[in-house]
Amino acid sequence: MFNFFKKNEKKSETFVNISNRNVARIVIIVVISYIFLIGLRKIANPIKLILISIFLSLAINAPVHKLSHLLPGKLRGNRIMGITISLVIVLGIFTIFIASILPPLINQTENFIRVAPNLVQDLHNQDSTIGRFINNYHLTGQIDSISAQLGNSLKSISVRSFSTITDISSSIFSVLTVLVLTSMILIEGPRWLSYIHYLIDDSRKEFATRVSNDMYSVIKGYVNGQVLMAFIASLIIVIPLLILNVSYPMALLVLVFICALIPMVGHTLGFVIVTTVSLFHSPIAALIVAIYYILYMQIESYVIQPKIQSSKTNLTPLMVFVSLLIGLSLDGLIGGLMAIPIAGCMKVLVEEYLIARGYKVK
């Protein structure tokens, strides 16, 4: 037992007694909390995949439900078949994306490795225009330094290639894991919701139903709006890429679609990627694509987005911007993608809490 006392001017004493049991409890709580935080850090990635799967299952639940009721004959209304068809479609799109980007990327990398030594020799050739320019401005030392760095890079390219392949494999595994989890949640979700609804007290069922419906409407409205805008953007942006014969048009279409799912900052990222790839084709093509993309972003901001996303999440522009900043800071693009629906759900909870306390909420 620990005893603490304080003397005052009247020489009276105040004792504070802390029993050994309380000290042991505090130590145990601290140790358990520390172990819990370590464990949470270790399983951060699986938790992220689970949260993404829950979010996706809520987002595509309505399309899956409609698809199951469009099936012919005895399959009409078969939820498992609708989920299976949806999964096959997603896997097909993902496979097409990988097949369209990997072979040309590998071929161009091999070509670059093969011609890189010849490029360096051309730089030292006094008969070429570039060689005379380097010699006139005494840039030979800088060129030799760059050549040495290029040689070292080529020597270690196998190691980096292995690392890149490992990262790609990990990403593909994560995508497949999310798809499997989403399918399982879609299958078992209605049963779990019915069980949770059964556990709720009758006096709170109306409140729980209202809150869950409002949150579901926020998520569904946000996702439907963003998917529709991303689909429109990808189809429109790919047009100049096909006309100008820019490399990887289908891969860029998918990348624009993914970037466009992120509000406010997504198109900026898509603009940088598409313009950079077009620049490798030709500066004129990059300029045309850049002007075209900027023009589309203005049209989407002032025409398309207000009509599609009007009042879907019931968030003010300030709330959207703040939630995006927090989401992007916490987990990059995934955080930015999930920030707005999470903020919308939190707004629903806060409003319901204020209503329950007697406040008026618009």
DSSP state string for 166-196: HHHHHHHHHHHHHHHHHHHHHHHHHHHHHHH
**Where is the domain boundary, 199, 222, 237?**
199
Give me 74's structure tokens.
């005895």
Task: Give the C-alpha separation, 48 to 50, whole Å.
Answer: 5
Q: Which residue has the tokens 């949806």?
A: 86
Residue 337 near residue 258, CB atoms below 8 Å: no
Q: Which residue has the tokens 């949770």?
A: 196
- Regarding whether 349 and 299 lie in a shared domain, the answer is yes
**16: which strand partners?**
4
- Regarding whether 211 and 194 lie in a shared domain, the answer is no
**Where is the domain boundary, 144, 164, 199?**
199
* Closest-CA residue to 190 (of 346, 47, 64): 64
Q: Give how far the C-alpha of residue 244 lies from the chain's centroid of Cα atoms, to the nearest Å.
A: 30
Domain count, the chain: 3
Series of mean pLDDT values for 10-residue runs along the chain (362 residues): 51 62 83 85 80 78 81 81 82 72 62 58 56 59 58 51 49 77 85 84 83 83 81 90 84 82 77 85 87 90 68 70 79 74 85 80 66
- Regarding whether 214 and 191 lie in a shared domain, the answer is no
Task: Give the C-alpha separation, 308 to 124, whole Å.
Answer: 58
- Regarding whether 187 and 206 lie in a shared domain, the answer is no
Domain that holds residue 19: 2-42
Count the neighbouring beta carbons within 10 Å of the beta carbon of residue 105: 13
Reported as a single tens digit per residue, the pLDDT across 156-193 is 544 444 444 454 456 667 777 888 888 888 888 888 88
User: Could you give the 3-state DSSP secondary structure of residue 73?
Assistant: helix
Count the neighbouring beta carbons within 10 Å of the beta carbon of residue 85: 17
> What contacts 267, CB < 8 A, 6 or more positions away?
233, 259, 260, 293, 297, 300
- Regarding whether 208 and 173 lie in a shared domain, the answer is no
* Closest-CA residue to 295 (of 252, 246, 236): 236
Task: Give the C-alpha separation, 99 to 102, whole Å.
Answer: 6
- Regarding whether 195 and 59 lie in a shared domain, the answer is yes
**Where is the domain boundary, 199, 234, 252?**
199
- Regarding whether 362 and 213 lie in a shared domain, the answer is yes
Reported as a single tens digit per residue, the pLDDT across 89-147 is 877 777 776 676 666 666 655 665 565 566 555 555 555 555 565 566 555 666 556 55
- Regarding whether 279 and 185 lie in a shared domain, the answer is no
Residue 327 near residue 335, CB atoms below 8 Å: yes
- Regarding whether 210 and 87 lie in a shared domain, the answer is no
- Regarding whether 265 and 167 lie in a shared domain, the answer is no
Task: Give the C-alpha separation, 84 to 78, whole Å.
Answer: 10
- Regarding whether 184 and 64 lie in a shared domain, the answer is yes
- Regarding whether 301 and 268 lie in a shared domain, the answer is yes
